[in-house]
Structures are given as C-alpha cells and as structure tokens.
Amino acid sequence: MENLILEGSNKTPTVKFLAESGALEISGKSIPENSFGFYQPLLLWLDNYNTQPTPKTEIKIQLEYFNTSSSKCLLDILRKLELLKKSGKSDVIVLWHYETDDEDMMEAGQDYNSLVDLTFQLIEI
C-alpha cells in the first residue's frame, strides 16, 4: 500500500500517512476552500488501510487552527479509526497536540475524545 504524503500550505495541513508503520500525522492549518475535497483522499486512504492495518495505529494531530468544515472532516477520520479499533485489527492511539496557551485547541481535543471511543493523549507543547 502506498503512503499518503501531502505538503502543507497556508490553508491546508501537512499530511503524512505511512502505511508500513501505522504512523499518521496531520499538522499545520486546515482552512481549505473545499474541506471535503481536501479530506476525501485521506478518507479513501483510511478505507484501504483499514483492510490491512498495522497492529498499532497512531495518529498525531497538531493543528494551529481549523475551520468548521475541517472539524467535520477530522471527526470523519476519527470515526474511521474508531471502526478500525472496534474491528480488533489495530490498537489506535490519538496524540492531540496543542500549544500551552491555546485553550480552544485543547478543548477541541477533549470534545473529539468525548465523541469517539479511542485512546486520546492530550499533549501540551
């Protein structure tokens, strides 16, 4: 399976989904003109990955900012990972990074944690 690597811009996050290691990362800003269009390849990649995942899948989310439509797409990603965990094929850990003074991003991590049945680690940076 191919890795999915997208270089970030001033409106889109950097994405590194590495199939062989199960290391997934979304970082930077997420304010694309068309969030659903941007995140669709990530969701399709996860559908494919979920058929033959690694025993441990770890997603690092370190966003400076994301808009409302991106928040829905992030939830879609977390829900796909929740299905993976429930299938028993892979342990899934979410590493939610936020800056010390960014209460909004910390609370967003807490909100996502309450919406999905995944192991969350809120990491202050």
Domains of the chain: 4-124 (3.30.750.24)
Section 102-118 average pLDDT = 96
The pLDDT value recorded for residue 62 is 97
At residue 65, the pLDDT reads 95
Alpha-carbon dihedral sign for residues 87, 89, 91, 97: negative
pLDDT of residue 63: 97
> How many whole angstroms separate alpha carbon 27 and alpha carbon 39?
13
pLDDT of res. 74: 98
What's the pTM?
A: 0.95
Closest CA to 61 of 36, 115, 90, 24: 24
**pLDDT, tens only, 60-84:** 999 999 999 999 999 999 999 999 9
- Tens of pLDDT, residue by residue over 17-74, are 999 999 999 999 999 999 999 999 999 999 999 999 999 999 999 999 999 999 999 9
Give the pLDDT of residue 66.
96
The torsion defined by the Cα of 68, 6, 87 and 105, in degrees rounded to 10, comes to: -40
Beta strand extents in 23-118 (DSSP E only):
23-30, 56-66, 91-98
